[in-house]
Amino acid sequence: MDKKVVVITGASSGIGAALARLLGSAGHSVILAARREQQLGDIVGDIGDNAVAVKTDVTRREDMDHLKQVALETFGRIDVWINNAGRGITRPVLALTDDDVEEMMSVNMKSALYGMQTIVPYFQDRDSGHLINVSSFLGRVPLVSFRSIYSASKAALNMLTACLRMDLREKFPDIHISLVMPGVVMTEFHKNALGGQPQQAPGARRSTMNAQTPEEVAEVIADLLEHPKSEVYTNPTLPEIARRYREDVDAFEQAMISGR
């Protein structure tokens, strides 16, 4: 694979950190973005000279532009931009506050929009590039109702990604737009969610998904760099779950409630 220059947001932990280490170890140049400087610095130290950290608040448009400029000044170009930053919530629909909605839409959807609007014009000038938006399977199938506005924000990201791809497909065939949908991933996501970790009551609905490690998800995303696709589920069990949901929503929801 040709060595690429890759920007990764949300790179201080979880999927982003695993992906940065994987790509860096393969010889790609990586620009790590997040708010937590210490964690970013530790990861850059693990990778070496082909990595740089940029303190970035992805909810600020000016920070995203600064991230792009640092990447260009450091490595001379950007080949891949990965919008990976995100945050969860533990709150059912009727308990949501205005602040909950604003936070989730800002971190999970608007930040990716800022990334798209920052990097895609650069890709258009080059007539090539690859944008990857990391979403969630919960934006496609409502398996966990207490994730409510998180799932809604990811559903919005899914559609923004698809619309952008359609906008570019005819005139810019060498600009790839990919959507990545992980399922359950073993990270600090649940612990860091607004509202804390959920308390599962006896008899509560069970997930039908096998959890993945961040490294397993990173492998799927890394493969996209070499084999671009419009959409990819990181867990092989997910397409079948999505099919069942689309075919009969009522039956699917009843099965979830009864724990089947």
Q: What is the pLDDT of residues 147-191, one digit of tens each?
A: 999 999 999 999 999 999 999 999 999 999 999 999 988 766 555
Tell me how crowded residue 186 is: count the other CB atoms within 10 A of its CB: 14
The sheet carrying 175-181 orders its strands as 51-55, 29-34, 5-9, 80-83, 129-134, 175-181, 231-233
Residue 192: band (very low, low, confident or very high) from pLDDT cuts 50, 70, 90: low
At 200-235, the pLDDT tens digits run: 533 344 444 688 999 999 999 999 999 999 999 999
Provide the percentage of residues in the chain whose pLDDT is more than 90: 82
Question: Does the pLDDT at position 258 exceed 90?
Answer: no
Lowest-confidence region among 6-20, 67-81, 180-194, 216-230: 180-194
Q: Which residue has the tokens 């790179």?
A: 11
Residue 256: band (very low, low, confident or very high) from pLDDT cuts 50, 70, 90: confident
The upper half-sphere exposure of residue 248, i.e. CA atoms within 13 Å in the direction of its Cβ, equals: 6
Mean pLDDT of the residues in the chain: 91
Whether pTM > 0.85 for this model: the answer is: yes
Question: Does the pLDDT at position 122 exceed 80?
Answer: yes
Q: Where along the chain do its domains lie?
A: 5-258
Q: What is the pLDDT of residue 203?
A: 36
* Topology of the domain comprising 5-258: Rossmann fold (3.40.50)
Element (H, E) at 154: helix 148-169
Q: Report which of 10, 15, 75, 35 is spatially closest to residue 217, judged by C-alpha positions.
A: 15
Question: Which tokens in the block code for residue 138?
Answer: 């919960």
Q: What is the pLDDT of residue 205?
A: 44
Of residues 122, 150, 233, 245, which has the active-site annotation?
150
Whether 150 is a known active-site residue: answer yes
Average pLDDT for 141-147: 92
Question: Which tokens in the block code for residue 91?
Answer: 């709150």
**3-state secondary structure at position 177:** strand
Average pLDDT for 17-39: 95
